[in-house]
Amino acid sequence: MTPTLEEFVDGARVFLESVTADRVRVQPGDGKSRYVLFSGSTQEEIDAAIAYQRAAFDAGYGWISGPVEYGGAGLPSRYEKAFATVERGYAIPSKGPLSVSLGMVAPTLAQFGTDEAKQRWLRGLRRADVIGCQLFSEPAAGSDLAAVRTKATQDSDGGEWRLTGQKVWTTGAHYADVGIILTRTADGPRHRNLTAFAVDMHAPGVEVRPLRQMTGEADFNEVFLTDVRIPDAWRLGEVGQGWSVAIAMLMHERGAIGGSSSGGSGLFRMDDLAAWIVGLGRHEDPAVVQAYARVYSGVTAAKAMRARADAKVKAGGVPGPEMSLGKLALTENLRALSDLVSLALGPNLAADSGRPQSFAWAEFVLSVPGMRIGGGTDEIHRNTVAERSLGLPKDKPAAV
């Protein structure tokens, strides 16, 4: 019997109180905060995220609107939103280590996977028994996603596929169990010569090498594939239709990233920021006040845009430019926040002077430029909005 929404919310509160009773929310100025965006999750953070997700799944909150046959609770999507709203009020572990797995890999596999692939991977992904990653970017492709060189060749009997190539900037590949990979299965025509697969990251021939960032962390990886064999049942969509799978996965990615532009990441808790600025004694500086107002207005606008996009989807519509706009809004809001904390701290940003959170914000400022690239470059998103939504002409190729 389906619980009423009120009963469901009451049960969610009981669950959240039971798993967060010993957790205390980090407060501004306590010296424990870290705001680096590409943080390279520690094993402790990964373990905490996995433990929480498993507890949520076992209690019926890990995949609230998912199909029952694949491990979901089978409840309406409004129950999922209600849980997310209640969950934000509790000090749960960071879901960062599982963001790609839950926000991109699982929904793409659910949309395009065969029944065998769904049975093999979906429940594990949602319960965090399995962690996923995205294998799209390549060293020579830049922002041209369709220019992949990783090849997939099928056996002559139509059975297994053999994958060979290299991927780069793969978030979380060093602790992932399954990846969704975009490959080239024919020489042309462009965009119709690609096929997507689920690939076991522990299979023979898969090698993962971490990439060190300027923050000192290593959240991204190179992935080398040498004659990696996978069954045809792990193919996502039809042969040659990988571009459609890739676009769908990017929409899931941009939706997840765009949600952070309106405060989903926890960085934009405006009351906490205001208390921190007051604690520094910088609240009467007009420049600091103006910078704070810029962040506040950007976050408020992003929330309104996100609400409009959610309403459109709820009404049966298809996400449009809101996904790209959400990513651009996030970039701008992060840049504005970087300007604010740099102005508020001044030289204290660059040295451990004892000022609250100075080191945490230094890490953040260093990591903000990476968001102009992650999840699709700002330039690509602007082109997407200009050409596909506004109908503006494409740029003419540069003269050689």
Task: Give the pLDDT confidence of 162-178 residue by residue, as tens digits.
Answer: 999 999 989 899 999 99
Instruction: Please give the residue that has the higher pLDDT: either 27 or 38.
Output: 38
Least confident stretch, 121-125, 232-236, 311-315, 391-395: 311-315
Percent with pLDDT over 70 in the chain: 84
**What is this structure's pTM?**
0.77
373: tokens are: 């690239």
d(CA 8, CA 14): 10
Percent pLDDT > 90 in the chain is: 52
Which candidate, 90, 16, 22, 98, places its Cα nearest to that of 60? 16
Average per-residue pLDDT in the chain?
A: 85
Look up residue 159 and give its amino acid. G
Quick one: DSSP state of residue 39?
-
Report how far residue 91's alpha carbon sits from residue 265's, in angstroms, rounded to the nearest whole number. Answer: 13
Does the pLDDT of residue 49 top 90, yes or no? yes
Q: Which residue has the tokens 């996603």?
A: 145
φ, ψ dihedrals at 336, nearest 5°: -65, -40
Q: What residues form DSSP beta bridges with 206?
A: 225
N residues, the chain: 400
- From first CA to last CA, the distance across the chain in angstroms is 67
Taking residue 71's Cβ as centre, other Cβ atoms within 10 Å add up to 19
Average pLDDT over residues 294-311: 85
Alpha-carbon distance 70 to 293, whole Å? Answer: 46
SS3 of 206, please?
strand
- C-beta of residue 11 within 8 angstroms of C-beta of residue 3: yes
283 pLDDT higher than 80: yes
Looking at residue 27, what is its pLDDT?
42
CA distance 100 to 97: 8
**pLDDT tops 50 at residue 32:** no
Buried-state track 285-315, b at ≥16 Cβ within 10 A, e below 16: eeebeebbebbbebbeebbebbeebbeeeee
User: Which domains are delineated in the chain?
Assistant: 5-94 (no CATH), 132-244 (2.40.110.10), 261-390 (1.20.140.10)
Among all chains, which residue has been given the structure tokens 């910088």?
Answer: 282
* Residue 217 in tokens: 């962390």
pLDDT of residue 212 exceeding 90:
no
State residue 313's pLDDT score: 62
Distance CA 340, CA 343 (A): 5
